A and B are shown apart, each in its own frame.
Chain A
Amino acid sequence: MSTPARHRRGALAAILVGALFLSACAGGGGQASDDDAVPASTEAADEAAADGGVEEAAAADGTCAPDEITLIGQVRNQTNPYEAAWLEGGDAFAESVGLEQQKLTYDGDSQRQQEQIRQALAGGDLECTVLNVLPNGDADTAPIVVAADQAGAWLVTQWNKPAELDPADYERWVAHITYDGVESGYLIAQAMIEAMGGSGGIVALQGVLDAVAAQDRFAGLQRALEENPDVTLLDDQTANFDRAQALDVTRTLLTAHGDEIKGIWAANDDMALGALQALEAAGRDDVAVVGIDAVPEAIQAIQEGRMTATVSSDGPWQGGVGLAMGYCAATGELDLASVEHRAFFAEQFLIDESNAADFADPQLDLAEFECGNVFDRATGPVSP
């Protein structure tokens, strides 16, 4: 039987292991290490928040020497090929200017993202810090923008932003890069309809239903359907951008509609690949499957003729150009006042059998990261 002393030892051990697991919870999700990226302490964070305004004045004109610049890339996690490629693009740019990218991942946790930003913006010399950030959701963008602006750090955000927030209103918010989801959904729908010969039944796999990206992409499909009255939407279901769910849902839809299904439109490649697996398990190879994101596996499937098309936002470019824009602003090579639209839609590329080989082994063109070219891919302003 246990003595009180043993109880105490046991409790101590329990606390130690508990702490171990908590830190495992905190650090287990992404391989990018948060610890070595941000050496600042919490007290420093508070200080910086208090006198951030003073520091802002120090180098507001942006005259950092290249070797003084700190480059930070932040994404959700590295468990999907897209965001992993994004960080690789950031690494490639950093290497090209003789620096290193600090990589932060927050596992899709808004709280954790804010905490990482707070830590990154603690301490001095922030006027030479560049952040290329993927905000977790629209609501997360505003606090990041305000924190960076007050601390005087250069910020580029991508994908998520509330409509009323505009980089033009902030001195340090260099740009917001996003993609026209309606256009993506429309492009792949057209490719699918063409592969089907212009008529037949299709099913749609939607993303997370309350996500703006998912809604926009579906609106693009609906636009394509209006233009092609011979194509009927047999069913639309959500698979939450998830491959396993898409497999299950497609299996059921194949039972429900059988041979009527000639095309499957998925709001991302992961779901398209899940649908492809369900089709292969059912012995169907006559269905045109399209997705969005251009993950390597999808490009391979397109090359092999198993999948029809996908759309690329070019993750490596996003990871690189965000840092490049901030870098150019920090060194003073880029005058933000000269840029007309700093919140813009970037060019996206339809990948089908004809050009899949070019995208299978993407080569980053470092010329696109030169200060005069960083805004070259803008196709138009984000309408408020």
Chain B
Amino acid sequence: MTAPDVVRQRTAAATTASAPSGGPAPAADRRRAPRSAEAVQTTASLLALLVLAVVFSVLSPQFRTLSNVVSIVDAAALLAIVTVGITFVLVLGAIDLSVEGLIGACSMTVALLVANSRTGLDLGLVGVLATVLLGAAFGLVSGLVATRLRIPTFMTTLGVNAVGLGVATLLFAGVRPVIEDAGLRAWASQRVLGVTVGSYIALGAVVIGWLVQRYTRVGRYAFAIGGAEDIARLSGIAVERYKVVAFAIAGAFYGLGAVLATAQLGSGVVQAAAGVNFSAIAAAVIGGTLLVGGRGGVLHSMIGVLVLTVLQNGLILTGVSPYAQRAVEGVIVVVAVAAATWPVRHRLGVVK
């Protein structure tokens, strides 16, 4: 039986987990254990979200309002898109630290390609597509350098991050391009059923990410590679090629995230995604997409995105002093990660 068959069978069999579960188990008798552990873990992540929501609802009447729910959804949009992308990399057991540089470069690019205050271009949707492709190209470079030259992804993506920031600074050239494209501005200001267009785009991105992860070869092989790379290679999977594709997919999502961030900020900004890389990794881990690879998935990560967004929103609404917010946030993130990974801690092995 080849690895993809195992994955397909397991996916079909999984009724408790809502997303494709972990990599192929080496032997039939060990299959049951990780699946139930993962179900427990998903429950733990959801529980963390629920606890936060209940606590904040009790402490702040404003938190329970419909308008605040809308505000949370809008605030989660960017982090959701980026986290979908980074999930593809984390499932491989790799890491991606290029998010901020890549989004900086893509933010300047999209701002200069659509109608703006600096260049005479007015490419509209074509400009948006080109930006997503640029993101994918950056991801492709990360993947190629990591696999062909055998450099840890930690290092290659940091390098690509620096290159991205450099490109962004060159494009910035001292003057910010202000977006004048009405279509792109609408992503941030136009509301359908109370929620901004950007949030629907984020929802679309999550669905696409989930479909790609569940139904395409690159999505399913990623779990096999992250779960046990040697076994995947021995089964005949072209590990390197699928890794590169996974990085490119992640890059495309960052590119889309850059477009949304630019629309929200109203102009191309080099630092459009400051701090988002850490948040995205934290969100994925809280949701159960573990750094060791082979576990979790797009939907899991989305739980983490909601946990972080609710946390940031709730801390402000409950009137926690801005001086203490950072520290409180850090403590809660660590507790949430511990709670989410508790059921599977014995399987994590060595912690580095």
Report which of A18, A31, A88 forms a contact with B170, defined as CB distance below 8 A.
A31
Give per-residue flags for B155-199: 1 if the beta carbon is below 8 A from chain A beta carbons, else 0. Answer: 110110011011011101111101000000000110000001000
Which single residue of chain A is at the shortest CB-CB distance from B167? A28
- Looking at A27, A85, A277, the one whose CB has the most chain B CB atoms below 10 A away is A277
Q: Are the C-beta atoms of B67 and A255 separated by less than 8 Å?
A: yes
* Interface residues of B, dominant DSSP: helix
Q: How far is the CB of A9 from chain B (nearest CB, A)?
A: 11
State A104–B136 Cα separation when bound (angstroms): 32
Q: CB-CB < 8 A to A283: which residues of B?
A: 189
Known: A24-B159, A247-B265. A281 touches B196 (CB 8 A): yes
Q: Are the C-beta atoms of B269 and A243 separated by less than 8 Å?
A: yes
State A26–B346 Cα separation when bound (angstroms): 41
State A339–B28 Cα separation when bound (angstroms): 86
Which single residue of chain B is at the shortest CB-CB distance from A242? B274
**How many residues does chain B have at the interface if contact means C-beta atoms less than 8 Å apart?**
51
- Looking at A27, A79, A236, A249, the one whose CB has the most chain B CB atoms below 10 A away is A79
Q: CB-CB < 8 A to A297: which residues of B?
A: 176, 178, 267
Give per-residue flags for B255-270: 1 if the beta carbon is below 8 A from chain A beta carbons, else 0. Answer: 0000001001111011
- Looking at A235, A243, A283, the one whose CB has the most chain B CB atoms below 10 A away is A243
Q: Are the C-beta atoms of A252 and B317 separated by less than 8 Å?
A: yes
Give per-residue flags for A218-257: 1 if the beta carbon is below 8 A from chain B beta carbons, else 0. Answer: 0000000000000000011110001111011101111110
Q: CB-CB < 8 A to B267: which residues of A?
A: 273, 297
- CB of A201 within 8 Å of the partner chain: no
Q: How far is the CB of A14 from chain B (nearest CB, A)?
A: 5
Q: Are the C-beta atoms of A281 and B176 separated by less than 8 Å?
A: no
State A25–B65 Cα separation when bound (angstroms): 46
Known: A29-B162, A247-B264, A273-B266. A10 touches B149 (CB 8 A): yes
Give per-residue flags for A59-98: 1 if the beta carbon is below 8 A from chain B beta carbons, else 0. Answer: 0000000000000000001111100110010000000000
Q: CB-CB < 8 A to B188: which residues of A?
A: 277, 280-281
State A238–B321 Cα separation when bound (angstroms): 10
Which single residue of chain A is at the shortest CB-CB distance from B151? A14
State A196–B171 Cα separation when bound (angstroms): 38
- CB of A331 within 8 Å of the partner chain: no
Which single residue of chain B is at the shortest CB-CB distance from A240? B274
Q: Are the C-beta atoms of B71 and A79 separated by less than 8 Å?
A: no
Q: Are the C-beta atoms of B162 and A248 separated by less than 8 Å?
A: no
State A25–B313 Cα separation when bound (angstroms): 34
Q: Are the C-beta atoms of B68 and A28 separated by less than 8 Å?
A: no
- CB of B62 within 8 Å of the partner chain: yes
- CB of B38 within 8 Å of the partner chain: no
Known: A242-B271, A274-B265. A79 touches B322 (CB 8 A): no
From 265 to 313 in chain A, residues with beta carbon under 8 angstroms from any chain B beta carbon are 273-274, 276-277, 280-281, 283, 295-297, 300
Q: How far is the CB of A105 from chain B (nearest CB, A)?
A: 9
* Interface residues of A, dominant DSSP: helix
State A242–B266 Cα separation when bound (angstroms): 14
Q: CB-CB < 8 A to B275: which residues of A?
A: 245
Q: How far is the CB of A237 from chain B (nearest CB, A)?
A: 5
Report which of A20, A78, A206, A243 forms a contact with B271, defined as CB distance below 8 A.
A243
Q: CB-CB < 8 A to A14: which residues of B?
A: 149-151
Q: CB-CB < 8 A to A281: which residues of B?
A: 74, 188-189, 196, 264
- CB of A200 within 8 Å of the partner chain: no
Known: A21-B158, A253-B316. A244 touches B272 (CB 8 A): yes
Q: CB-CB < 8 A to A13: which residues of B?
A: 149
Report which of A21, A84, A236, A300 forms a contact with B322, defined as CB distance below 8 A.
A236
Q: Are the C-beta atoms of B174 and A21 separated by less than 8 Å?
A: no
Which single residue of chain B is at the shortest CB-CB distance from A20? B159
Known: A14-B150, A237-B322. A24 touches B166 (CB 8 A): yes
From 1 to 42 in chain A, residues with beta carbon under 8 angstroms from any chain B beta carbon are 10, 13-14, 17-18, 20-22, 24-25, 27-31
Known: A206-B322, A248-B312. A88 touches B174 (CB 8 A): yes
Known: A88-B174, A237-B322, A245-B274. A17 touches B65 (CB 8 A): no
Q: Are the C-beta atoms of B317 and A28 separated by less than 8 Å?
A: no
From 135 to 153 in chain B, residues with beta carbon under 8 angstroms from any chain A beta carbon are 145, 149-151
Q: How far is the CB of A77 from chain B (nearest CB, A)?
A: 7
Q: CB-CB < 8 A to B202: which residues of A?
A: none
Known: A249-B316, A281-B189, A281-B264. A81 touches B323 (CB 8 A): no
- CB of A209 within 8 Å of the partner chain: yes
Q: How far is the CB of A90 from chain B (nearest CB, A)?
A: 13
Which single residue of chain A is at the shortest CB-CB distance from B68? A255
Q: Are the C-beta atoms of A25 and B159 separated by less than 8 Å?
A: yes
Q: How far is the CB of B298 from chain A (nearest CB, A)?
A: 23
Q: CB-CB < 8 A to B71: which residues of A?
A: 251-252, 254-255
Q: CB-CB < 8 A to A254: which residues of B?
A: 71
- CB of B273 within 8 Å of the partner chain: yes
Q: CB-CB < 8 A to A243: which residues of B?
A: 265, 269, 271-272
Known: A79-B168, A281-B188, A300-B178. A21 touches B159 (CB 8 A): yes
Q: CB-CB < 8 A to B312: which residues of A?
A: 248, 252
Known: A29-B165, A252-B316. A17 touches B170 (CB 8 A): no
Q: CB-CB < 8 A to A253: which residues of B?
A: 316
Report 12 cross-chain contacts, Cβ distance below 8 Å, ordered by A residue.
Answer: A14-B151, A31-B166, A31-B170, A84-B175, A242-B274, A244-B271, A252-B317, A255-B313, A256-B62, A256-B317, A281-B188, A281-B196
CB-based closest 8 A-B pairs: A28-B166, A21-B159, A84-B174, A79-B270, A28-B162, A25-B162, A255-B71, A238-B322
Interface residues of A (CB under 8 A from B): 10, 13-14, 17-18, 20-22, 24-25, 27-31, 77-81, 84-85, 88, 206, 209, 235-238, 242-245, 247-249, 251-256, 258, 273-274, 276-277, 280-281, 283, 295-297, 300
20 additional A-B pairs beyond A251-B75, A252-B316, A255-B67, beta carbons within 8 Å, are: A14-B151, A17-B145, A17-B149, A21-B155, A21-B156, A25-B159, A28-B163, A29-B169, A31-B169, A31-B173, A79-B271, A206-B322, A209-B322, A235-B319, A243-B272, A244-B269, A244-B272, A249-B316, A256-B62, A297-B178
